[in-house]
């Protein structure tokens, strides 16, 4: 006899884990519930059916072998911050911009673009798999510059992605499918999600040296020798600017040497550009590493994000760009990126794409964006300087704190170890990741001296 899929699912799911006799009794019970459910006393039997099936389902879950996932190391910091009632508490864990009053910030230029979009009342039809054409054009041109040969020769395959993370994930899927014997080299340390992304895409990775704890600076020699030692044709993941978590970027001369080695070894550069314009305040300056690699005629991948520079964190807007040797190759690569995207999420969201396209496509809004971006970058630079000044003024030990000024972007590696970072949180109520990273975007000038006291105490009094 045919039965409702819901009813048969409930009874078979619940009963299959039971021993034989109990399963028989259970089925009998479920069947009688099912029968009364179909009888006259509709409401009572409906309640009793759901009570029976729910309690059985909980006792015999098919998911009991699933263990508790560890909390996300960055998002967990915010949860702990919220639970702290101390009035001096500071959240320097999460990488989101805050105003001088430590409030989240929606850019005025975004509000203006959204007002226009409301007036235009455009429809919400599906986008094509590759995303909004006007966005894809704008994002590639922002990255390379409108007159760049790679744009003029149509050598860039651009596909709108689900912000930086989703764009990296799509690129990882491309690597997994078309370069199954290649691995990705990632910096040590790197943004925590990089490893998750490549793990889930089943792309092997290994680390290259990047951070030197002795100088709280770049381990350039280590980086170069690890990139040299990697198997030919590896993908080398590079942070285009404002390296996360360290805030330490190579100098222009060092970038040239990195490009030389990558070229010699036939590696494929893979840039993660999550902070264009947000690091230095200039879109062009922050794209200079990527443009230098493109000018050498190399093929490369670039993931972009508009979370930070346009404050569109929750809109999930970004892109993956693959610079190819010819427009023909780019055309084919784009078709495969679309093929990978289709079963993952079908097509991307429209709202953030329209915001970016409308801002970049309107000269007034574009200029206003650049001003607002420069002012966000400027506020971060000014608290960085104030923190440095406070450290120098308060610390009599002769320690050189100048590494803080050499870093760029919203993050600063303080050089504090795990125990010292714990002291920052437990004693001073300063919430930060345990690798010693602080987000200067969560700091106001009023709090710099307090933070300096906390750092000095943790550095000198905790080993
Ligand atoms: C280096 C780096 N890459 C990518 C991202 C991705 O961010 P989103 O997915 O919000 O664009 C971040 C965000 O913090 C980042 O720091």
pLDDT by residue (tens digit) across 142-197?
Answer: 999 999 999 999 999 999 999 999 999 999 999 999 999 999 999 999 999 999 99
C-beta separation of 117 from 355 below 8 A: yes
C-beta separation of 30 from 51 below 8 A: no
CA of residue 305 to ligand 1 center, whole Å: 7
pLDDT, average across residues 282-296 = 97
List, in sequence order, the alpha helices (H) in 346-428.
351-360, 363-394, 403-406, 418-426
The residue behind tokens 């320097």 is 92
CA of residue 243 to ligand 1 center, whole Å: 11
Q: Please work out whether the CB of residue 164 comes within 6 Å of at least one atom of ligand 1.
A: yes
| Burial of 334 (C-beta count, 10 Å sphere; 0-12/13-18/19+) | buried
Please pick, among 272, 334, 386, 401, the residue that the annotation labels catalytic. 272
Q: What percent of the chain has pLDDT over 70?
A: 87
Residue 394 a catalytic site member: no
Please pick, among 112, 308, 334, 386, the residue that the annotation labels catalytic. 308
pLDDT of residue 78: 86
Q: Please work out whether the CB of residue 278 comes within 6 Å of at least one atom of ligand 1.
A: no
CATH architecture of 128-361: 3-Layer(aba) Sandwich (3.40)
Q: Please work out whether the CB of residue 167 comes within 6 Å of at least one atom of ligand 1.
A: no
Q: Please work out whether the CB of residue 211 comes within 6 Å of at least one atom of ligand 1.
A: no
Q: Which residue lies with its CA nearest to atom 7 of ligand 1?
A: 164
Average pLDDT of the chain to the nearest whole number: 89
Q: How crowded is residue 124: how many other Cβ atoms within 10 Å of its Cβ? A: 8
Q: Please work out whether the CB of residue 315 comes within 6 Å of at least one atom of ligand 1.
A: no
Write out pLDDT tens, residues 26-39: 443 444 344 333 33
Q: Name the nearest CA neighbour of 370 among 329, 310, 324.
A: 310
Q: Fill in the DSSP letter of residue 439.
A: E
Q: Which residue lies with its CA nearest to atom 6 of ligand 1?
A: 164
Residue 41 a catalytic site member: no
Question: Could you tell me the pLDDT band of residue 56, with boundaries at 50, 70 and 90?
Answer: low
Q: Which of 184, 196, 237, 305 maximizes ligand 1 atoms within 8 Å of its Cβ, making it the mutation to test the pocket? A: 305
List, in sequence order, the alpha helices (H) in 62-155.
75-83, 108-120, 133-144, 149-152
Is 11's pLDDT higher than 90?
no
Domain with CATH 3.90.1150.10 in the chain: 75-106+371-461
Q: Name the nearest CA neighbour of 306 among 294, 297, 315, 293.
A: 315
Q: Name the nearest CA neighbour of 321 among 306, 338, 302.
A: 302
Q: What percent of the chain has pLDDT over 90?
A: 83
Q: Fill in the DSSP letter of residue 304.
A: E
**Dist. CA 299–CA 322, nearest whole Å:** 7
- Give the CA radius of gyration of the chain: 27
pLDDT, average across residues 58-70 = 87
**Dist. CA 431–CA 78, nearest whole Å:** 8
Q: Please work out whether the CB of residue 413 comes within 6 Å of at least one atom of ligand 1.
A: no
Write out pLDDT tens, residues 250-275: 999 999 999 999 999 999 999 999 99
Q: Which of 165, 240, 271 maximizes ligand 1 atoms within 8 Å of its Cβ, making it the mutation to test the pocket? A: 165
Report the atom number in ligand 1 closest to the C-alpha of 166.
9
State whether CATH 3.90.1150.10 applies to domain 75-106+371-461: yes
Question: Could you tell me the pLDDT band of residue 401, with boundaries at 50, 70 and 90?
Answer: very high
Q: What 3-state DSSP class applies to 23?
A: helix
- Does the predicted model carry a pTM greater than 0.85? yes
Domain with CATH 3.40.640.10 in the chain: 128-361
Backbone angles phi, psi at 39, to 5 degrees: -85, -155
Residue 401 a catalytic site member: no
Q: Please work out whether the CB of residue 272 comes within 6 Å of at least one atom of ligand 1.
A: yes
CA of residue 66 to ligand 1 center, whole Å: 28
How is 199-224 classified by DSSP, letter by letter? HHTT--EEEEE-EETTTTEE-HHHHH
Report the atom number in ligand 1 closest to the C-alpha of 95.
14
pLDDT, average across residues 289-316 = 98
Residue with more model confidence, 28 or 280: 280
pLDDT, average across residues 284-300 = 98
Is 227's pLDDT higher than 60?
yes
The first and second tokens of residue 439, run together, are 């987000």
Helix (H) or strand (E) run with residue 303 in it: strand 300-305
CA of residue 463 to ligand 1 center, whole Å: 32
Strands in 268-273's sheet, in edge-to-edge order, are 156-162, 317-323, 300-305, 268-273, 235-239, 184-188, 205-209
Write out pLDDT tens, residues 435-453: 999 999 999 999 999 999 9
Q: Please work out whether the CB of residue 244 comes within 6 Å of at least one atom of ligand 1.
A: yes
**Dist. CA 211–CA 214, nearest whole Å:** 9
155's CB contacts (< 8 A; 6+ apart) are 149, 323, 324, 325, 326, 327, 329, 330
Q: Please work out whether the CB of residue 165 comes within 6 Å of at least one atom of ligand 1.
A: yes
C-beta separation of 157 from 198 below 8 A: no
User: How many residues are listed for the chain in this entry?
Assistant: 463
CA of residue 404 to ligand 1 center, whole Å: 22
Judging by DSSP bridges, how do beta strands 235-239 and 268-273 pair with one another?
Answer: parallel
CA of residue 245 to ligand 1 center, whole Å: 11
Q: Name the nearest CA neighbour of 285 among 155, 145, 406, 402.
A: 145
The first and second tokens of residue 232, run together, are 């030919």
Within 13 Å and on the Cβ side, how many CA atoms surround 394?
Answer: 18
Is 42's pLDDT higher than 50?
no
Question: Could you tell me the pLDDT band of residue 54, with boundaries at 50, 70 and 90?
Answer: low
Report the atom number in ligand 1 closest to the C-alpha of 164.
11
The residue behind tokens 């879950």 is 61
Report the atom number in ligand 1 closest to the C-alpha of 243.
1
């Amino acid at each position: 006899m045919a039965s409702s899929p819901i009813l048969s699912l409930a009874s078979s799911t619940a009963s299959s884990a039971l021993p034989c006799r109990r399963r028989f009794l259970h089925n009998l019970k479920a069947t009688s519930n099912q029968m009364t459910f179909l009888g006259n006393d509709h409401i009572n039997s409906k309640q009793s059916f759901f009570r029976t099936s729910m309690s059985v389902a909980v006792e015999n879950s098919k998911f009991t072998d699933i263990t508790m996932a560890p909390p996300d190391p960055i998002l967990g910091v915010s949860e702990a911050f919220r639970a702290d009632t101390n009035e001096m508490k500071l959240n320097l864990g999460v990488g989101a911009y805050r105003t001088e009053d430590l409030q989240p910030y929606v850019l005025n230029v975004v509000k203006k673009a959204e007002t226009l979009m409301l007036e235009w009342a455009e429809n919400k039809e599906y986008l094509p798999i590759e995303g909004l054409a006007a966005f894809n054009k704008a994002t590639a041109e922002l990255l390379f510059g409108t007159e760049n040969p790679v744009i003029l020769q149509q050598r860039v395959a651009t596909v709108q992605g689900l912000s930086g993370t989703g764009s990296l994930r799509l690129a990882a899927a491309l690597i997994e499918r078309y370069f199954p014997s290649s691995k990705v080299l990632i910096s040590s340390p790197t943004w925590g999600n990089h490893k998750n992304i490549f793990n889930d895409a089943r792309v092997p990775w290994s680390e290259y040296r990047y951070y030197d704890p002795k100088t709280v600076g770049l381990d350039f020699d280590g980086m170069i020798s690890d990139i040299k030692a990697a198997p030919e044709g590896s993908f080398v993941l590079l942070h285009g600017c404002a390296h996360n978590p360290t805030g330490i970027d190579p100098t222009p001369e060092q970038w040239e040497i990195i490009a030389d080695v990558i070229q010699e070894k036939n590696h494929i550069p893979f840039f993660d550009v999550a902070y264009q314009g947000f690091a230095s305040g200039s879109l062009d300056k922050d794209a200079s590493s990527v443009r230098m690699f493109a000018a050498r005629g190399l093929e490369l991948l670039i993931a972009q994000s508009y979370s930070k520079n346009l404050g569109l964190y929750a809109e999930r807007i970004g892109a993956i760009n693959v610079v190819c040797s010819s427009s023909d190759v780019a055309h084919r690569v784009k078709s495969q990126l679309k093929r990978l995207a289709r079963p993952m999420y079908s097509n991307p969201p429209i709202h953030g794409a329209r915001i970016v396209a409308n801002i970049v496509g309107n000269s007034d809004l574009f200029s206003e964006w650049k001003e607002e971006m420069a002012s966000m970058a400027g506020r971060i630079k000014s608290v960085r300087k104030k923190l440095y000044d406070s450290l120098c003024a308060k610390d009599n030990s002769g320690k050189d704190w100048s590494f803080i000024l050499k870093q760029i972007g919203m993050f600063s590696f303080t050089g504090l170890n795990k125990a010292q970072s714990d002291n920052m949180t437990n004693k001073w109520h300063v919430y930060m990741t345990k690798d010693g990273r602080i987000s200067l975007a969560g700091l106001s000038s009023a709090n710099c001296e307090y933070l300096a006291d906390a750092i000095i105490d943790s550095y000198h009094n905790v080993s």
